[in-house]
Chains A and B, each alone.
Chain A
Amino acid sequence: MPIDILMPALSPTMEEGTLAKWLKHEGDSVTSGDVIAEIETDKATMEVEAVDEGTIGKIVVPEGSEGVKVNAVIAVLLGDGETAADIGTETPAATPAPAPAEAPAPVAAEPAAAAPATAEVPSDPDIPAGTEMVPTTVREALRDAMAEEMRADDDVFVMGEEVAEYQGAYKVTQGLLDEFGARRVVDTPITEHGFAGVGVGAAMAGLKPIVEFMTFNFAMQAMDQIINSAAKTRYMSGGQMHAPVVFRGPNGAAARVAAQHSQCYASWYSHVPGLKVVMPYTAADAKGLLKAAIRDPNPIIFLENEILYGHTFDVPKLDDFVLPIGKARIHRAGNDVTIVSFGIGMTYAEQAAEELSGMGIEAEVIDLRTIRPMDLPTVIESVKKTGRLVTVEEGFPQSSVGTEIATRVMQQAFDYLDAPILTVAGKDVPMPYAANLEKLALPNVAEVVDAVKAVTYTA
């Protein structure tokens, strides 16, 4: 029986890659451990080793193919006595196999539709009609935002661990060192507290630093610099001094990185006066809001997500696409229930809305985009229309962004509510490592659907 060789996942969050080179060819014999191909992801080039012994019967995906999904069949291995004629004609070429239970990313664990290559985003009211849209990953959009701002303003520079030579731990600063040089793309020592403070000091001297944290989980030791210095100096100095820094990097859970690398800090930072907290979902928002953040004279917390980095969305082709901080976006219109989410929480909200639509429930999905200052008026307008509200986020449930929204909607729109507000969040546990436990700890689409059914009394 011929054996399918599948596109391997070379990191927990890899969803697709480029098959850069075949090192074995049809007719070559291989033994377990032989390097048969090279694969490039946006993070690295890696070698694929043969698992089984046999002869390469057919190369299904030619070298140079881009966007090859994890678990797609890339070649077929023949055993003793088998020939190419034994290869079933039904072998699908480059079609994703159903994701196994321990699939790399939580969103990918949902079947096929879970990680749409291009999400359907209603045209943003801030984008002129007829604008050309370019499919772009969130990662590229963030890089483009930084590059554009750095070209426009010599005071903008990037600093952080691995941002220069390595192009960012998640390749978000790709190409910046080449274009802007070591004076403006600065690798730092491994001291989040230290380089956050260096950034604050540089901002006080009149520069506009973008401080990348490898993850916001590491930024906990920089909290004192972010909160006590960056957020409060304008106030304490009577307006004489301030720190226009953007602190950015991945936040929240990725996949298989456990308790100390998976926390969402949206509600933590949203507690602090003096900070603005931005948490985009789409690539267009990532770009437009990061550009706005770099120009903003206040310190900004810009929360990204490792899994979303590889997601592709349409980004308007505009010379200077800047979005307003503090403004939510109606991601999907509907009349029956309002679902408010932000960041990766939007993936659950979006899929739930799709499923609910099949049941005859039309959800209005609001992407908050900015956590502080919070665009409550948009949420309240929607609730006045739907009378029902569900919030969705991956962070811990107590003192969450959802509970904040629930409190304020209850205070300001109580008479419009036809049901209690429900908040969908992560479980109240540190993130476990095991794939099955991790999946349980995060919210899921079914929980969102159930919450909507409960508030619409259709359960």
Chain B
Amino acid sequence: MNDYGPLSFKVPEPPVRPGDEPDFSDFEVPKAGTVRKPGVDTDANDIKDLATTMIRVLSREGEAVGPWAEEIDKETLLHGLRSMLRTRAFDERMMTLQRQGKTSFYMKCTGEEAIAIGQQLALSEGDMNFPTYRQQGLLLCQDYPVVDMICQNLSNARDPLHGRQLPVLYSSKKHGFFTISGNLGTQYIHAVGWAMASAIKGDTKIAAAWIGDGSTAESDFHAALVNASVYQPPVVLNIVNNQWAISSFQGIAGGDQATFAERALGYGIPSLRVDGNDFMAVHAVSKWAIERARRNLGPTMIEWVTYRVAPHSTSDDPSKYRPREESAAWPLGDPVLRLKNHLIKIGLWTEERHTQAEAEFDEEMRVAAKEAESYGVMGGGASARDIFEDVYKEMPPHLIAQRQKLGV
């Protein structure tokens, strides 16, 4: 006798689809300041609760509260907010260029600006980021020339990557920004290997790995974790959970069964889940994880909870798979507004300065784009010689022959 009914197959579904009211009723948001702050030498087993809760610092009233609220110098705070505004202005200008047919492709990071910028401002010179395609803030809060970024997106004569790489997949060793990989997840292992090398050399530099919620399904993610667990290299393992991998909600990557932060616990890696739209929380938790790495205490995983307000890319229309109003209903709000309100609250910022800054960066990007366009658009200006350079350190004879045959 068979007591079993027929088996059924599960495909996770988000709570709502287009046409429905946005629904975040199951999304728990702890009150700011309520999550404890352990010492940096903590054992992963003693902070398991931090992988399921959410560390938050900025209250609804715009105050920095709780054990993770710490003194951040005024310059860093102002630079953080201005960099977020600058990133937003850059994204808008790039979107315009794409819609004008001057570049083929672009990806905005709207709503996620606090994460890359908050962490970069806690890193030191010589540390190395292994980013994904939505961490342009890492460069835009540094002195990387914005004209160079645009030139790459336009793939013109001044493209620093010589017309070889997709728009958005920037690379700048000098700015601690590893060449972005177009196939997802590979950089997570590179960060672990780079950090291992730093330890093998007896250096003091650390690596920061970046991955999205969707790409945590890649084997690279798991291989990186096992290697990080075994060798305890100085690396910060960031997961940017922006809820959406193109049209696949985070449940398709397994996020409904456990938080992404919890994945590290099986490897014995300390792991924290953090409000990614809270600049103060991002900076404080980043500092904590960086301090652990720098003190040779090993890797830390951080899940940054955020929301991808923008489409996945310029090729994507999110209204086909999620309600248009969903981003406005996102319970963690807008990272720019939240930091702005806090800085106004503590007397560092005003509405007027905010409006001025928005205009200033809009103008900066307009001028920069104009200059970049003067060097060509849409792959118009790359030197034909560049096709054969940098395949090898020294050009082998068969490539020299091919180059001569092309007459370049």
Which A residues have a C-beta under 8 Å from some C-beta of B? 155, 157, 183-184, 186, 188-189, 191, 193-195, 197-207, 221, 224-225, 228-229, 233-242, 273-274, 276, 297-298, 326, 373-374
Q: Using Cβ atoms and an 8 Å threshold, which residues of chain A touch B160?
A: 238
B390 neighbours in A (Cβ, 8 Å): 234-235, 238-239
In angstroms, how far is the closest chain A Cβ from the Cβ of B101? 24
Which stretch, B79-87, B192-200, B314-322, B341-349, touches the partner chain A?
A: B192-200
Q: Is the CB of A193 within 8 A of B194?
A: no
B169 touches A236 (CB 8 A): yes
The residue from A229, A274, A373 contacting B186, defined by CB atoms under 8 A apart: A229
Closest 8 pairs between A and B when the two form their complex, measured CB to CB? A201-B193, A194-B223, A197-B189, A201-B190, A205-B197, A198-B193, A202-B197, A237-B179
Q: How far is the CA of A426 from the CA of B250 in the complex (A)?
A: 47
Say yes or no: A183 contacts B200, CB within 8 Å.
yes
Contacts of B192 on A, CB cut-off 8 Å?
Answer: 197-198, 201
CB < 8 Å neighbour of A225 from B162, B186, B197: B186
> Is B98 part of the binding interface, using a Cβ–Cβ cutoff of 8 Å?
no
The reply to whether B201 and A373 contact each other, CB–CB distance below 8 Å, is no
Whole-angstrom distance between the Cβ of B298 and the nearest chain A Cβ: 15
Whether the Cβ atoms of B173 and A241 lie closer than 8 Å is: yes
* Bound form: Cα–Cα A197–B186 in Å: 7
A373 interface neighbour in B183, B200, B397, Cβ under 8 Å: B397
Binding site for A on B (CB under 8 A): 128, 130, 160-162, 164-165, 169, 171-174, 178-179, 181-183, 186, 189-198, 200-201, 207, 219-220, 222-224, 226-227, 230-231, 389-393, 396-398
| CB of B187 to closest CB in A, whole Å | 8
The complex places the Cα of A323 from the Cα of B348 at a distance, in Å, of 66
Contact between A197 and B223 (Cβ–Cβ < 8 Å)?
A: yes
CA A44 to CA B389, docked complex, whole Å: 48
Q: Which residue of B lies closest to A228 (CB)?
A: B183
Task: Pick from A203, A234, A374: contact of B391, CB below 8 A.
Answer: A234
Q: Is the CB of A238 within 8 A of B162?
A: yes
**Structural contact, A204 and B194, CB atoms closer than 8 A:** yes
Known contacts A273-B391, A274-B391; A199/B193 CB under 8 A: yes
Given contacts A198-B189, A201-B194, contact A191 B179 (CB under 8 A): no
- Sample (28) of A-B pairs whose CB atoms are under 8 Å apart: A186-B231, A189-B227, A191-B227, A193-B219, A193-B220, A193-B223, A194-B220, A194-B224, A194-B226, A197-B192, A198-B227, A199-B193, A201-B190, A201-B192, A201-B193, A201-B194, A201-B195, A206-B197, A206-B201, A224-B186, A225-B189, A228-B181, A237-B173, A237-B179, A273-B391, A274-B391, A298-B392, A373-B398
Interface pair B171/A240, CB less than 8 Å apart: yes
State the CA gap A242–B394 with chains docked (Å).
13
Q: State how many angstroms separate the Cβ of A253 from the closest Cβ of chain B.
A: 28
List 19 additional A-B contacts (Cβ < 8 Å) besides A206-B197, A234-B392: A186-B231, A191-B227, A194-B189, A194-B220, A197-B189, A197-B192, A198-B227, A200-B189, A201-B196, A201-B197, A201-B207, A202-B196, A204-B178, A225-B189, A234-B390, A238-B171, A240-B171, A240-B172, A274-B392
Q: Within the assembled complex, what's the spacing in Å between the Cα atoms of A290 and B379?
A: 40
Expressed in whole angstroms, the Cα–Cα distance for A202 and B222 within the complex equals 18
Shortest Cβ gap from B289 to chain A (Å)? 18
**Cα of A211 to Cα of B393 in the assembled complex, Å:** 20
With CB as the reference atom, state the residue of chain B lying closest to A243: B190
Task: For the complex, give the distance between the alpha carbons of A224 and B218 in Å.
Answer: 12
Q: Nearest-CB distance from B43 to chain A (Å)?
A: 22
Q: Known: A202-B194, A233-B179, A234-B393. Contact between A240 and B224, CB under 8 A?
A: no
Which B residues touch A197, using CB under 8 A? 186, 189-190, 192-193, 220, 223-224
Chain A residues lying within 8 Å of B230, measured Cβ to Cβ, are 188-189
Expressed in whole angstroms, the minimum distance between the Cβ of B384 and any Cβ of chain A is 15
A207 touches B200 (CB 8 A): yes
**Contact for B164 among A188, A194, A235, CB less than 8 A:** A235
Chain B residues whose CB sits within 8 angstroms of the CB of A188 once the complex forms: 227, 230
Closest to B397 in A: A373
State the Cβ distance, B100 to closest chain A Cβ, in Å.
26
The verdict on A298 contacting B189 (CB below 8 Å), with A191-B226, A198-B196 known, is no
Selected contact of B178 from candidates A225, A241, A297, CB within 8 Å: A241
Q: Which A-chain residue is minimally distant from B166 (CB atoms)?
A: A236
Question: Are B164 and A238 in contact, CB atoms less than 8 angstroms apart?
Answer: yes
Given contacts A191-B226, A224-B186, A237-B161, contact A207 B201 (CB under 8 A): yes
